[in-house]
Every structure is written in structure tokens, then in C-alpha cells.
Amino acid sequence: MKALTFSKFGGPEVMEYIDVQDPILKKGEVLVAMEAIGLNYADIYRRKGNYHLKGTPPYIAGYEGAGVIVASESPQFKEGQRVAFADVPYANAELVTVSEDHVIPLSDDISFELAASVLLQGLTAHYLAKDSHAIQARESVLIHAASGGVGQFLTQIAKMKGATVIGLTRSEDKAALIKENKADKVVLLQEGWKEEVMAFTQGKGVDVVYDSVGITLMDSFEVCREGGHVVFYGMSGGDPAPVDPRMLMDSSKTLTGGDLWSYLTSAEQRQTRAKELFGWLLDGSIQIAEPVRFKLSEGEEAHKFLESGQSAGKVLLIP
């Protein structure tokens, strides 16, 4: 089979589209012929050598995608079924073996491209809004990187739940996108942004901050109300400063860490959460931008495009 690989760490130029051995199917697994593969920043981090990576060179990145079962060693699934997955390694290939616990069945009204576009980012936003902090109506929510994939989902879910949403972004060009996702306020991450947030909340601070930037963590506490909540789930801007427990005690504020893999712990969890996410997409509660498609053989160009920050939609690799 063909796969998008890299044998050394570096820039997009290290990506190679080559022939590799077909995966060997084991008991309890299905073999999926891929129709659409989601490209994520985690794949860029893996290519650079600063994120967890399975296997040996040539490495195959990718964890998210959708396709058709072409062989099955699982009594639960049969050939011809349409399926997807959010947390299976070696996805940047024509064929992927998927454990039966990781299979997410697709109904006919969910396309392969939609599934590959929404699972990782959508399920991340799902647990953030339901588990890390159960967003309530009339709460004020501040979302860092609100124009990013998770940020767009999280903004729309928070609005669906009746919250007031403040979206943070570094780019003026992304402000319109955040407003399209129904945020009540857009704030540019520049000098004076914290004062702008405090003014919008009439000096009280927000009920909850979702921080995926990392280096902004202490700033997030500053704009969080007394007794409020900060959810930390990413480090796109760098490692955060250590948090003083005394500050948490004195202000009655709460810090929660978040990682999707802590919630996708069983077949039931994967399928139940995905079903709710797909339901929101089908009934129009959540909308996503049109994905940008590259051939799997165009992996170098796809990585360059994702890193450039040009797209508001998902980047897909099509075998």
C-alpha cells in the first residue's frame, strides 16, 4: 500500500509518499480502506519530533479518518461497513487496522469527509464543554484561539448551551470568523486585552476560561472571576508558568487539565460522544467550514498549508 511517511524529523520537506507493507490484521481488528484522513497540528508536532510517535522509521503519522471495512476479524463489524475513528495510529495510509473498540460506525447521512473533519476537534470540544466544565446558560466563557478548530466547535457549543462567549484571537483577519460562530465579543490578544475582557464583564471577570495557549495561563486567572474556573488543555504558545496553590485557595479559583484520551476510554464512550456530536451537526446546531482537500501524495503541500494558518476549515488528505 501507499502511505505518507517521514524517516527523519524536520520541515514539510521530510514527508515522503512511498510503498510500505500492508498492515497485518489481528483478532478483534478490522481493516479499513481510507476515504478521508484528518490532518492535525499534532501530526506536525510528530513530524518535528516533539510529540509522542508510534512505530519505527519510516514513520506514519495521523490518528483520524474514515473509510470502508474491507476485512474483519471482529464479530461486531463486517466488510462493507462505513466507519470512522478518532484515535488510531498510522492513519496516513491507504489501509489502516482499527481495534473494534475504536471503531465509530457511520450512518449514511454522515459523509466520510465530514467524519474525518470533525472527530478529533469536535470530540475535544465536547468533553471540554461537558466534562472539564459543564457550561451552563448565562455563564460567561472566554475561549483562547477561538478561530482554531477546537475553538470554533467550543464557541458554538457554548452558545448552544446559552452562554455568553468572548473569543480571543491574535489575528484581526480571524475576527469575522469568530463572529460567524456566534461569539458575543471578539478580543484581540494584544496589549490591553485583559482590561477589555474585564470591562465587558463589568469588572467581574468570566466564569470559565478555556486556555489552549499555555503561556497565557496566569493571564487567564487574572480575567477569571473569584470562584471561577480555568481549563488548561494545550500549549500552542509554550509551557505555562507554575501555578501557586495559595493563589487558588485565596481566590477560590479552580484549575482543571484536559486531554481527550482521558475520555475516549471505551467503545461506548467513543460511540456515544460521536453520536451526540454528529447529531448537533445534522440538526444545524453546529456548522463547520468547507474542508481543504489534498491528495495523500501531496502531504508536503498539505503540511505547509496547515502550518501557514491560511485555512479556517479542516485540512483533509484523500488517498
pLDDT tens profile 171-181: 888 999 999 99
pLDDT reported for residue 52: 79
**Calpha distance 65→34 (Å, rounded):** 7
Q: Which domains does the chain have, with CATH numbers?
A: 2-119+263-318 (3.90.180.10), 137-257 (3.40.50.720)
Please name the amino acid found at residue 314.
K
pLDDT reported for residue 293: 97
DSSP code of residue 101: G
pLDDT reported for residue 136: 98
DSSP per position, 44-80: HHHHHT-S---S-SSEE----EEEEEEEE--TT--TT
Nearest to 119 by CA among 55, 36, 60, 181: 36
Per the structure block, which three cell numbers stand in for 117?
473533519
State if pTM tops 0.85: yes
pLDDT reported for residue 10: 96
Low-confidence ranges of the chain (pLDDT < 70): none
**Calpha distance 304→312 (Å, rounded):** 15
Instruction: Report yes or no: 140 and 183 within 8 Å, Cβ to Cβ.
Output: no
Beta-carbon neighbour count of residue 77 at 10 Å?
18
Q: Is the peptide bond before 58 cis (omega within 30 degrees of 0)?
A: yes
pLDDT reported for residue 310: 76
pLDDT reported for residue 236: 85
**Calpha distance 263→105 (Å, rounded):** 18
Nearest to 125 by CA among 105, 143, 100, 106: 143
**Calpha distance 263→257 (Å, rounded):** 12
Nearest to 302 by CA among 40, 18, 2, 8: 40
Q: What's the pLDDT tens digit per position in 258-294?
A: 999 999 999 999 999 999 999 999 999 999 989 999 9
